[in-house]
Structure 1
Amino acid sequence: MEFRYLVSFLAIADELHFGRAAARVHLTQPSLSQQLQRLERTLGVTLVVRSSHEVRLTPAGEALREHADVIVRLLDRAGRAAREAAQGRVGQVRVGYNFTGWQELLPAALARMHQRFPDVAVELREQRSGPQQAAVAGGELDVAFLHGSPNTADLAHRFLMSVPIVALVGTAHPWAARASVRFAELAGQRCILFGRDQSPAMHDAIQAAAERTGTRLRVEDHVDDLAATAIVVATQPVVGFVSAHRGDHARASGLGSVPVPLTDPTPKVDLHAVWRAGDQSRAVRAFLGCVLNDSAGIEFHDNGVELSC
């Protein structure tokens, strides 16, 4: 089975259109069709059915797609590792982060990383906390900065800081000029929230504050995208919820939304560094040491194993 045949098959599976798939892999449509036919003959199954109206995968095609995607991504990663080694980079750490992590920790950690470990490449990906945790557990990220601590023994973590949660409103909202609002005042407001899977710790902190004050939140809609949240509150008389850092950024952007501190109580969420328990890679140990600004070694243990740079 040739690797290029898998790449072509995945293009067809993603596009479900031979013209677009051929353009994506820089082939003519007849060449793409020939590669598909050769792959089908090699496997002894039909992978794709096409008519004048549609292109669809067979059950065998769906099964192959799942495994082929993993193979292609692994080979791509292997190729990147080889190229980085040829360029003098002998390691890589894939780091996920949220806005608080970027504002408070990443710039200094990256500067230290470049100074102490110039041969280690750092790949960055911004995500909300829920997807970050899933990516670390699934091996797609090595380290994550996320709100809340993971609830599984497969992941190790280190507390970094606590972050207030604020209300986000449009500049025309009656709260826009307020210095703060009591949490109980949310009872009379239309609110937008995000799915718990996107940031479980922040979601739970908001709900806990609501229960503590006997406040029933009037949730009008769920908006998972943070940029969309800022747009919605800027254009509608609703209240959103973001970290204080994200709220300050929204105000500075000048796009029509402002943060308002919540009091009595102020909901807060903890920021943690998270990695896979037992990960002994040099790149991960190096990066964690730079996050904590510890050039000699990391002063904590991961399931009984001391991590040191």
Structure 2
Amino acid sequence: MEYRHVLAFLAIADELHFGRAALRLHLTQPSLSQQLQRLECTLGVELVARTTHEVHLTRAGQAFEVEARELVRLVEQAGRPARKAAAGRSGTIRVGYNFPAAQHVLPSVMEKMQADRPDVAVVLEEKRTGPQLQALERGALDVALVYGRPATAKFRYRRLMRLSLVAVVRQRHKWAGRPGVPFAELAGQPCVLFERELCPAMYDAIVRAADEAGIGLDVVHEIDHPATTEILVTARSLVGFASISRAMLAGAVAGGARTVAVPLYDPVPAVDLYAVWRDDQDDRLRDSFLECLDAAGPFSSPPAHKSIRS
């Protein structure tokens, strides 16, 4: 049974006139008659009786009309969510994010999504930059909120904001009471850095600042999680690095110890936060998230103008 044949039958049932029914469906009368005959052949019954003077439904036609109208209603009902999904107004979108995105971007974007796209479910996944981009490439994420502009032409991107990077030291460190430290003073200071593959942009920003300051960094640890920086820095007289966003909210670590964030300058190391997505497909749902992202901006981070105690 073809759906178009059902619609042809219902047009005849409404009009009880082949000419008017054919006109309504933009068909010729022979074509309409042929569709009715194919439907009757499929069902094995006569649905419509006609004479020179009138057209009427048979008993079988009257019974079939009830079910046919219910079928059309169900098809139309099923089509509404599909149309909303195609228009980017319903469905699920998977968004990766890092700490600054959670603090400065997502709250207003999620509020906008709830207001404008209440039927869109946003699944959020916190990951470092490297894992986010890997997930984006294999299709496990639709949008990534990451540090740094991606190097591959597979992705498109949009810059959202710039964040200063600060030094993180323990409370007994000689820098702990200072409002800021020239980057050159890192010469000879044992440092903790993130593994580059996890966050290339942040790693490169720190190394680039060292080059501009004319110094080399004494990197004694490369770690894979921000909490590890706080633990190592608290245990030893080391210098770690963090975004100003994370430094502002850094809390107690193991044993109740706390760290101090100290701004760096000459130069000020900084990293850009980007929204990134694949360039190989048209996705209205993803585009609806990006539209809300645009509407919620511009975004800004707190200035790193003085030491911040956690």
TM over 0.5: yes
Which sections of structure 1, spanning at least 5 residues, go unmatched? Answer: 1-84, 296-309
Quote how far apart the aligned CAs of 1:251 are: 5.4
Name 2:20's counterpart in structure 1: none
Name 1:226's counterpart in structure 2: 226
CA contact (8 A) 1:192 1:221 kept: yes
- Mapped to 1, the partners of 2:146 and 2:159 lie a distance apart of 10
- State which structure, 1 or 2, has the greater radius of gyration over its C-alpha atoms: 2
Helix, strand or coil at the partner of 2:262:
strand
Name 1:183's counterpart in structure 2: 183
Name 1:162's counterpart in structure 2: 162
CA contact (8 A) 2:209 2:267 kept: yes
State the number of aligned residues: 210
Helix, strand or coil at the partner of 2:295:
coil
Name 2:292's counterpart in structure 1: 290
Quote how far apart the aligned CAs of 1:280 are: 2.2
- Mapped to 1, the partners of 2:265 and 2:251 lie a distance apart of 19
- Mapped to 2, the partners of 1:264 and 1:236 lie a distance apart of 26
Letter in 2 for 1:91: G
CA contact (8 A) 1:94 1:142 kept: yes
- The change in CA–CA distance for 1:116 and 1:248 in structure 2 (over 3 A counts) is same
Q: Deviations over 1:257-298 (max 9, x none)?
A: 121100000011111100111432222111111111179xxx
CA contact (8 A) 2:162 2:273 kept: yes
Quote how far apart the aligned CAs of 1:100 are: 0.9
CA contact (8 A) 1:161 1:270 kept: yes
Name 2:52's counterpart in structure 1: none
Which sections of structure 2, spanning at least 5 residues, go unmatched? Answer: 1-84, 298-310
- The change in CA–CA distance for 1:235 and 1:150 in structure 2 (over 3 A counts) is same
Match for residue 266 of structure 1 among 243, 265, 268:
268
Higher relative contact order (CA 8 A, sep 6+): 2
Q: How does 1:34-183 map to 2 (within 5 A)?
A: 90-183=90-183
Helix, strand or coil at the partner of 1:292:
helix
- The change in CA–CA distance for 1:228 and 1:171 in structure 2 (over 3 A counts) is same
- Mapped to 2, the partners of 1:234 and 1:294 lie a distance apart of 38
CA contact (8 A) 2:112 2:296 kept: no
- Mapped to 1, the partners of 2:265 and 2:243 lie a distance apart of 14
CA contact (8 A) 2:90 2:117 kept: no
CA contact (8 A) 1:187 1:217 kept: yes
- Mapped to 1, the partners of 2:124 and 2:252 lie a distance apart of 24
Does 2:197 correspond to 1:201?
no
Helix, strand or coil at the partner of 2:108:
helix
Helix, strand or coil at the partner of 1:114:
helix
Name 1:30's counterpart in structure 2: none
- Mapped to 1, the partners of 2:143 and 2:194 lie a distance apart of 24
- The change in CA–CA distance for 1:250 and 1:294 in structure 2 (over 3 A counts) is closer
Q: How does 1:2-13 map to 2 (within 5 A)?
A: none
Name 1:280's counterpart in structure 2: 282
Greater displacement, 158-167 / 279-288: 279-288
Name 1:306's counterpart in structure 2: none
Name 1:74's counterpart in structure 2: none
- The change in CA–CA distance for 1:102 and 1:252 in structure 2 (over 3 A counts) is farther
- Mapped to 2, the partners of 1:117 and 1:219 lie a distance apart of 47
Quote how far apart the aligned CAs of 1:138 are: 1.4
Q: Deviations over 1:62-86 (max 9, x none)?
A: xxxxxxxxxxxxxxxxxxxxxxx9x
- Mapped to 2, the partners of 1:268 and 1:294 lie a distance apart of 23
- Mapped to 2, the partners of 1:291 and 1:230 lie a distance apart of 32
